[in-house]
Structure 1
């Protein structure tokens, strides 16, 4: 990931068009015309081997043209390349040597060798490339139209980044007709260098962009994309249209999970996990952008429909049910107040219909009656024009009451039904900052988008419950036993574990499994395996065939349940051998498994699985299990690593989740046990790189807990799983270190989300002056959202080490923290350090700094930097002792810059 030199791409002081032309219809001609017509104020120069002057348009004065890059008087900051593919690598090499920092390569048709040669020429000089085979870019506020689009975007606050150039032109036309403006419009093309991750990093901190819109056809560099997306989504709304919802999932899979985990569901999971919002169409893209810009602070999940027409209210109610939005229940006091001001035939519920003959005062009285009622936290106002009172008059009366106060979240969405009769009313509301929509369905859809976005954002910062000491990620599992099982199977040339091995693997990660015995493929061996005197489970039992060629045993009659005695087991084994021989004569029969029959009459049958997505790596599946799992198709996909809130959210996205709570005489499922199984699978994926597919089906769950009745595991010696392949870097357990310090046993470890309460306690004990020295101002409180930023770090771009010890109360306490935020180029890491006030000067800060420095060196980070208050002499002394360079002190400056070369 890198934003190096992207300022030269989006705010260049000079632009050269290589291949600029007067030839009608050529790309070079269109780009040159667009740059001149858009009003770009910087230096503009054309390069063309044959022309001597070029004209922007008929009647315009010509500009001089140079024949070659070498003839340019100075290096252009940005070059736009419109020449044949074979010329591109050489041109990029020339431009890089001259000092050009960015290029837009519009040329299409580069083969793999030419593309790589282009990148190789750019890389040594850090010349950034947009494209190739792209439409170009536009920055309307600068008059920069370095594209061959047919029109230039209007200036505005939305950034649009697209893989499809054709979609960019459609978007420009669509948006201009609606008066929608942009901060940047970017066509990525083949995104050989600048990609979605780079753009998200750049736009996240761009002050001219208030929301980011993405059109994605494919994602490369999943971890880079996820890190950038999660960072950007914390700053501003990021809304995605992802093409390919109908793409088929993996066709050849040995498990239900592999068959069910289609690529589009994985993309959905990634977008949700990053705190972004996915929509289906361009209309919805802008609908969401405008809604989130106005509604980001609203926290209501339910809607109150306020209308003057019963039909309009029913339309809104139907739309709400379709979108899964509940209508708010009016309180009894609010109903009483409404009874006092409304006609007797008002709707007496939600939708709140005040009847079509309503004068202006009835609207105002209704608002008064709703004032302060919880049901009115989110209000959809739907109005149909009547001849009684002009719509504009109603709008002028309501706008001051419905507009949100400065600094307060909006609470009103409006829909003025009709055309010319309501045009002035719409304008009045728009000028008051009230979001207006063409139809009730559109307004409800917009509200639903806001709810979905807020849930994704909440999940981004939700705090897991505190973990007791010694129960953090990776602790408690029998990793050695799990790896031994995998090594033995691969050494034997097998890529599938048999059922007892698969269950032993789960048991190593503390996932409960039923007692299962393996035996030879004879009826007598099955009877002996069931005998409790010989270590068997006792009756009743389940009998299953054991064959490497048979993955789904029930499909071939290879499963018999509820066998009550030895005679029945003997008969079942004989019959099973006959059935399997008839249906799968080529299958190698290795034996039977005889397993304890679990009688949990109120249990729910679930499926938990894992597979490998070709882009996002390991993924986890949860849903309703059983033999008809593909037909039921009730499942959700999540990206590891998981914690308790993420596991809970994964479960909640399925229909079967509604059956997991208590109903009638059925008690609720043990939620902690279910979440624990999901988290264990997440950790299994991190620890065992060879795990290619996992299928636990069914996983029984009831009030007693969970138990795996059957499990299938496929291995791959290439190691497609493992923490290294996660799209989101998991907790770096390898950085945990136990040390002795001044007679105290400390743990130096990366901070984790579960530390929020512990970190808050640490901050509360700091001397306010110490806090001021660290963050340059004193504070009396800290919000959950900021605590989440401090504890829920992206380990791919931030390191935060805490020094902890177990106190006399048996609880873990934080003594100090050292943090470094790494720039997207991994060049500079800005650090800060703070320790308990009573431990200042005792050497704990130096201990943490050495840990931080060692880790950053291992990551390849080049410099450690910080800004320090000049009065913070203790920090400056520590920096000198560690070998930092200190910027010379100035008489006027309140701070000093310090840095240390790490490489």
Structure 2
């Protein structure tokens, strides 16, 4: 069960409270009185066999005695009664219930779920505060107060936190569309609510308080979909490093649980904040300042001290202050006293009357460099703050998203602050808070840009999967968890990562000498022992050995030292490799690890023997493309070194990206991969080179596509075929297809585009094309027919698209074939492939909307068994087409 019937939970027409009471300090008493006091306009019914009436309303004995079937039931009854009540309600036709009751045993929870499932009855809780929908007057909770109506939806795993935030929000006059307490979320969870709230007309921004995630792929899919249409801001409890347990690999030691959660938030295009106050600061900023794209801030103030505070905060948070241009300086000189600050922050002097504020704002609004303006005011006895606000508010409101405000002070500026808030202007209590809000906005934009960035194709060739499987299978068959260095490097090479050629020899000085002669030149000698994973730390590495005697002596010293220090270690041999000489190389680490919640993750950072001490690393979720890999690199300090410095040339970043992509592919194709370290991975102006690698395998298969939190490209759907003499590749669309998808649209007749999009054609923006090409394979599909040798240069010949509802009951399709290829059978081929895909996914019904005049499409759909009829919810020129599917 996903988002089915959540409308009954959040927008019910009738509510029944089971366990409603007249006894003081009872949960049932508070819930009932909150419902009555909330102003709910639908039908209400208390249920309590002990009472004939409650607060003047007739009370009912049980489900059967109710005069109506409630959309929503609120259960405040003892734990042992809950499952039976849910069963009765489901049979009666109720489709949503809030289980306020706490203390259900695992067996009682299971019985309750089993009772709800046949009826698709949705369960919120148990052990939750309840739900509030202020626009509907619904307060089905035991909160201490009602909520004001507004545009923010809050979903919280903590009931206590929800009540505290409600109290604070009422004080600050912040309203909500919904407040939802998840409790133990045995049914309705974050993913369900994100899907629903993303389409909720009352909700402009979604706030989440998260303690744990139980369905990571569902959460990520819903979060990515929601974050594309409205801001999603997250507070995550538990930033402490409790998850940083001892681990055998550097990656395992450095990939803490909180860093992985950060990576998930970033990948989904959401914004994470650290405190509850920041949660509301971010919500207000994104709701009222979201469309502002300026990377720099212009500050106007009536006090030099406030300007200094803003400048200090901006410096600390990496916010750039805009530099006024010559035209703006001339304009300001004309309207400001000679003593004004002549720079940014713009100090208009403490005696400024209202007109001086208006003149300054008009000058800033006309200046292109003043894209984002912070209006900071300190009260004075000379001019009324309210008078200034009333003069400026209409001017600012006419240009939404240009101005943030900070009315410093308390009661004196309260009327001015309210005036700005009523005009929809984002307002903050302190200059530091305002600058922090602007910095959060920049972080949000970066996350959104990463969500929509078009990648370039990787240069990696197809991996040698057969060779990689031989290495993995042989190690597991021999009972080896850790691959030795030779096998680990061979595994990397199978996926296209360049490695230093390495030879393994028996654990004798003579064997090491013989191998060194064959390699020639200076060599690196390393010990091979399953008990010694960090060889440098144990003295098991010697560098730059030249000549037989040096190799022999180093080998003997290693054996003697390890025999004394690590008598438990089995010495299985030595590895010998040529001493790599790359004077400009930067040491990096690339790693893989399996997180307990989000599954396989990747790590990148500065490498070397002090990797954990330096602690320069970033985390990303697979799968990766070059854009995501580059974003991962850019989040580390070593990225600045890779860009080149002091005569050292920039490293070949595409090669670093491709190494990261190769490791992500390993996690997808080798389910047995549990941990991996490439340390160091050298990167210079030519390429990358893996000098050392460690790989741990697990027969439990913790990796693989099934464990990815983000579903990767489904290559299994690729199909080669011949159509009218052309060899076509029918495959899912990829983010890299943006350019050729634009070419397909440009090559299509305007009338064909109107038939597809139901509006006059225009050139699509990057964001619109990104939405069409960067799809979430978990819930949608776009199959493209590609001709690699198309003489027109447009390799995409057509596309068939399908978007499934979160419950996989219904899916809506759309199709576009290049105009010069119409009526040749390509549309039928694409539609049949789409139907086969939908049936294979278990989708029950496929629907679409077609213009009546699109006779060719309607004829094709009739041939494919679609039902065609008018839809009362659509304009008369549009018909609805549908076909029931028989799941494969």
Smaller-chain TM-score bracket: over 0.9
| C-alpha distance 581-728 of structure 1, shift in aligned 2 (>3 A) | same
Q: Is residue 800–residue 831 contact of structure 2 (8 Å, CA) maintained in 1?
A: yes
Q: Distance in 2 between matches of 1:846 and 1:899?
A: 16
Compute the displacement of 1:200 (Å): 0.3
Please name the residue that 2:121 is paired with: 127
Q: Is residue 649–residue 685 contact of structure 2 (8 Å, CA) maintained in 1?
A: yes
Q: Deviations over 1:528-581 (max 9, x none)?
A: 11223xxx2x22111111111111111111111122222211111111111211
Write out aligned runs for 1:71-150 (5 A): 71-150=65-144
Q: Is residue 521–residue 578 contact of structure 2 (8 Å, CA) maintained in 1?
A: yes
Please name the residue that 1:495 is paired with: 481
Name which of 873, 884, 887 aligns with 2:866.
884
Q: Is residue 457–residue 626 contact of structure 2 (8 Å, CA) maintained in 1?
A: no
Name which of 699, 709, 715 aligns with 2:681.
699
Q: Deviations over 1:102-138 (max 9, x none)?
A: 1111111111111111111111111111111111101
Please name the residue that 1:228 is paired with: 222
Q: Is residue 720–residue 729 contact of structure 2 (8 Å, CA) maintained in 1?
A: yes
Please name the residue that 1:426 is paired with: 417
Please name the residue that 1:58 is paired with: none
Q: Is residue 303–residue 326 contact of structure 1 (8 Å, CA) maintained in 2?
A: yes
Please name the residue that 2:587 is paired with: 605
Compute the displacement of 1:337 (Å): 5.1
Please name the residue that 2:881 is paired with: 898
Q: Deviations over 1:472-517 (max 9, x none)?
A: xx85211211111111111111111111111111111111111211
Q: Distance in 2 between matches of 1:78 and 1:38?
A: 16
Q: Is residue 622–residue 636 contact of structure 1 (8 Å, CA) maintained in 2?
A: yes
Name which of 169, 172, 175 aligns with 2:169.
175
Name which of 322, 326, 329 aligns with 1:328.
322
Compute the displacement of 1:80 (Å): 0.9
> Is 1:458 matched up with 2:449?
yes
| C-alpha distance 134-692 of structure 1, shift in aligned 2 (>3 A) | same
Compute the displacement of 1:771 (Å): 1.8
Q: Distance in 2 between matches of 1:739 and 1:95?
A: 53
Q: Deviations over 1:369-404 (max 9, x none)?
A: 545544311222222233444434444444444444
| C-alpha distance 418-857 of structure 1, shift in aligned 2 (>3 A) | same
> Is 1:565 matched up with 2:564?
no
> Residue 536 of structure 2 aligns to a residue in which SS?
helix
Name which of 511, 514, 524 aligns with 1:525.
511
> Residue 141 of structure 1 aligns to a residue in which SS?
helix
In the comparison of the two structures, how many residue pairs are matched? Answer: 885
Name which of 713, 725, 729 aligns with 2:711.
729
Q: Distance in 1 between matches of 2:590 and 2:94?
A: 53
Q: Distance in 1 between matches of 2:325 and 2:554?
A: 63
Q: Deviations over 1:730-774 (max 9, x none)?
A: 000000111001111011000011111100110111122222222
Name which of 524, 537, 541 aligns with 1:555.
537
Q: Deviations over 1:254-312 (max 9, x none)?
A: 20101111111111111111111111222111111111111111111222222332222
> Residue 70 of structure 1 aligns to a residue in which SS?
coil
> Residue 25 of structure 2 aligns to a residue in which SS?
coil
Please name the residue that 1:484 is paired with: 470
Write out aligned runs for 1:322-361 (5 A): 322-335=316-329, 338=332, 346-358=340-352
Write out aligned runs for 1:630-649 (5 A): 630-649=612-631
Q: Distance in 2 between matches of 1:657 and 1:72?
A: 66
Q: Is residue 404–residue 411 contact of structure 1 (8 Å, CA) maintained in 2?
A: no
Name which of 526, 539, 545 aligns with 2:527.
545
> Is 1:822 matched up with 2:804?
yes
Please name the residue that 2:835 is paired with: 853
Q: Distance in 2 between matches of 1:371 and 1:209?
A: 30
Q: Which stretch shows the higher mean deviation, 196-205 or 590-599?
A: 590-599
RMSD between aligned alpha carbons?
2.0
| C-alpha distance 748-47 of structure 1, shift in aligned 2 (>3 A) | same
> Is 1:386 matched up with 2:380?
yes
Compute the displacement of 1:717 (Å): 1.1
Compute the displacement of 1:628 (Å): 1.4
> Residue 531 of structure 2 aligns to a residue in which SS?
coil
Please name the residue that 1:834 is paired with: 816
Q: Which stretch shows the higher mean deviation, 652-661 or 122-131?
A: 652-661
Q: Distance in 1 between matches of 2:456 and 2:527?
A: 42
> Is 1:440 matched up with 2:431?
yes
Name which of 752, 766, 781 aligns with 1:799.
781
Please name the residue that 2:257 is paired with: 263
Q: Distance in 2 between matches of 1:543 and 1:895?
A: 74
Q: Distance in 2 between matches of 1:9 and 1:370?
A: 47
Q: Deviations over 1:817-840 (max 9, x none)?
A: 111100000011111111112221
Q: Distance in 2 between matches of 1:729 and 1:476?
A: 20
Q: Distance in 2 between matches of 1:430 and 1:325?
A: 24
> Residue 537 of structure 2 aligns to a residue in which SS?
helix
Q: Distance in 1 between matches of 2:318 and 2:878?
A: 53
Q: Distance in 2 between matches of 1:450 and 1:522?
A: 62
> Residue 549 of structure 1 aligns to a residue in which SS?
coil
Q: Deviations over 1:303-348 (max 9, x none)?
A: 2222332222221111112212122233355445555665565444
Q: Distance in 2 between matches of 1:762 and 1:353?
A: 54
Please name the residue that 2:407 is paired with: 416
> Is 1:206 matched up with 2:200?
yes
> Residue 806 of structure 1 aligns to a residue in which SS?
coil
Q: Distance in 2 between matches of 1:255 and 1:833?
A: 48
Compute the displacement of 1:659 (Å): 1.4
Q: Distance in 1 between matches of 2:15 and 2:359?
A: 61
| C-alpha distance 6-745 of structure 1, shift in aligned 2 (>3 A) | same
Please name the residue that 1:514 is paired with: 500
> Residue 228 of structure 2 aligns to a residue in which SS?
helix
